[in-house]
Structure formats: C-alpha cells, structure tokens
Chain A
C-alpha cells in the first residue's frame, strides 16, 4: 500500500535523523513516497532521495511553505492525500503541529506519537506520560500518524529515488511568519545524540549550567534539562526532556540534580544506560538508573570533567 512520509526540514535543510527514523516506521507499512516542502526544497529533496528504501520524492517549492506553517502545508498534503493509505510525519513540534490538522481535514482521527506498529491498522502508543502503552486499532480508511522517533532506528543512505516537482496549492492566508530564534550549536541535537547529560533544578543558575556543558563537550554529548531547570531560566526551552518536552533514547543518559518525576522519566527511560547523580539517595531517579552516585553535583561535575 502507498505510504506518504512528510520530511522534517530545519531552516530548509533535511533533518535526516528525524526523517530517517520516521522512514523506518513508514517502510513497514508499504511503498514510501517522501514529500519535501519548503521555500527552497530542492536540496532537501535530493538528500531525501538518497535515504535507503524510498521509492519517490515529491518536491514542492513555494514561499508560503518556508517556515513550517501548518495551514499551507496541511492544504498541500490534503491535495495529494488521495493516493495514499498511510500518511506519516516524525512526532517533532512541526509534525505534531501539522498532522492533526491534516487528519481533521480528511475527517479521520490522528494517531499521535506511535511507538510501535502491529499491522496497517493497529499501532502502539504511550499514554499517561508513558505509564501505559495502548494498542489502538483504527477504523479509518486513511491513517494519519506521527512517529515517536526515539523508538525507531534511522535508516541510512543508499537510495536513489527520483525527485518529482509538484505545485503548491493556494495559501489559506490565515497566518504569517514573523521570525525564528533558533540557537545555533556545535553540540549534537538532543533527539539524535548518542550521549546526553541533563541538569535539573539543583544546577541553581544559568552560569552553573556551564559546568554541565563542559562535561558534555568532553563526552561529545547533547545537553538536556528538566522542566524545573527550564522554567527557572537556567536552560533554553528546547532542552527540556520529558512528557511534554523531547523524548530521547541515547546510549548514555546522565541525569544530574534531577529528582526523577514521572514527567521527566517519560522522556528518557528508554535510554540504554542511565546514570543518576543526586545527593538524595531516596530520589526516584535512582529507581531507573543503572549507575547511581549519591553525591553533591558541584563536587562531582568538575571531577568528571577532569577525568574523562
């Protein structure tokens, strides 16, 4: 059956990791066409064509598609939806913004954040902050899904799909982009990083977070944060890991001064190895940690940095 995957792009470039992980889910459902939409989308479309196992890439360039606005992009997806039984996107902020709109326009129920595929109609997804996994079967003929990227391995390169240009549809014109403030960083991106070190409320200031960053640089790790650290202004919002932040599953996750509330665990408990550094030996984070160190983080972090 034909499957349409909406590519994730960041500043016009293909987000290969998020798209590649959603692609490995999409491939289980059938023959995959990837849609790349943007103001300038050709480069990203060429990159998508190289992903392993893609049959075809559709490239749509239009100024209205430049900033991931949901309204023109949903209109575009709906205009080509007739050809596909499954329509997927990675469950990124952009994907979650877009896909429910697409689903409602098609009068189907969106299935958000799937973590597993049972068959073409049946999917697994976490609910209640990951405290339960639901298996749901849809009765809708068309399936609109977002894919929890932490649960799927990215496919590599090796494809050579053809790229076909398609035209945009009329912009509904109800929203307008003003600006993006995207922080540039040399560190790996949270959702694709193999190692992550996250700080919590106990970091106590933005300046102190620099100690975490130093350790991160030694490890080649991405930096994450708890909600409390973000709310207190110690770390930027897009570092938040958890139920309502980023969901990650790196090989190594180090939680520093984080108590381990269920909302935080929801975003990281699928990590391969978890390390917790906390001065309270009763902290719930130790219940999920493979290695726990009961100590003051302000002693541990400098030592860790010098010994790594």
Chain B
C-alpha cells in the first residue's frame, strides 16, 4: 500500500467515524464498499479492516454516550446476548445460505425500515412516558430508563416495549454482522426505535455501545486468520477515532427528528444499492 492510499483511507475513515457515531452504526457499510471498489482491497481484508473500524467507532463514540448517560446499559447487555450468539451462528452456519437470498432479504428489510423511520416523526410528546402497564419482561429486567437530551435540555423517561421481538431482531443483526463484517447498527437502531420505542438518541447511543462487542467476536476470527492488514487497520483506527469526536458532539446537540431523517435517507440509499448491486448488468 502506498502512502497516498493510506491517507485517502484515513480520510474516508474519518468520515465513517462522523457518520457512524451520529447514526449509531459502525461505519462498516461505508468502509467495505469504499475499500473494495475505490482502493481495490481484497474483500476479506476489507471486511477484517472494517471490523476494526467498527470497534474503534464503538469505543470512541460509546464512551462519550455512556459518560453522558445516553446509553441504556441494561438494554445493551440484554440485546448483546442475542447479537453475540447471532454473530457466532452467522460465522458458522450462515455461510451456507445462498448469497442472492441474503442480499434481497436484506435490501427489502432495510428499505422497509427506512420508510418507517422517515414517516414517523419523533416529538417530545411521543418521547414522553406512556401510561399503562409495562411488558412483564421489561419490568423484570428493569429495561426502562431515562436520558438527558442536550438539545432541548429535557430529561426523558422511556419504557422499552416488545423486548422479545427486539431480542429476535438483534440476533438477526448479529447474524449479518458475522456474515458481512459490519456492526449491524443499521438493524439495531430501527429495531430499538420503532419496535421497542426507545427514543432515537438513546437508541443510537445504545447501538453504538453494542456494536463493539459484536464486532470483536468476529474480529478475533479474522485476526487469527492473518487477514488484518496492520497498516490499513492503523489508518482506519486513527481516522475513525478523530471522526467520532466530532460525530458524538453532533448527535448530542442535534434534533432527534433530524437524526431520524438522516438515518432514513442513509438506509434508503443502502437498501437500493444492495438490491441494485445484485441486478444483472449493474455494478456498484
């Protein structure tokens, strides 16, 4: 790798760090296509490098969100059980599923999530604690929590709905993570926000917290295979870490509805790209 390529990668990683920490994803979905298509890095090396970037995003951004009490630590632990199990299953079994099926299932699901997130606007009223009884599991696991929103200086109490469904979707997120070398944040954020009714910022922070552990499980496997290119990984770590310092500040001070919208646009673009990339005669 030449110095120029490494510097370009560091800049791309910087952008991935900003976007990743702002949207609650690892940035792997940016980095893998960039490395393979623009820098023509081998796909397996790209996946390994991206996993390292996911961990850097997670540690860099999650640390700030945890300090500022945006992250729901209990919810994260509960869902991590699913994502790590899914991650191992993805690495072992998922490889036998036809690739085409994965791409389409993935693309359709991502587009659905994008539409759902763009349509529903999150207002302070919706964020407010709803009356009525909590689901039994939520109560038992003390999943409901509060967070402080720096944008409007409000403290919001929220409760976690449909914990079992969220657990299932997280397992699927882990599966994709093990398979494609991404953190799976783009599945977890909508799952928490739409399905479990966790406010957007808390969902982003909690997702960011979880992806590091999910990616670490797969990163060990790639490292032991000698697939981690230390030069590339170093540039990605340095770039991503600088990016997260900006992205976290962006999230904490921006409107939740803007975060949702940015996320929806991002999902839509990704879903389309994934579907189109499998159509004959189109290369993305």
A binds B: no
Chain A residues close to B by CB (< 8 Å): none
Chain B residues close to A by CB (< 8 Å): none
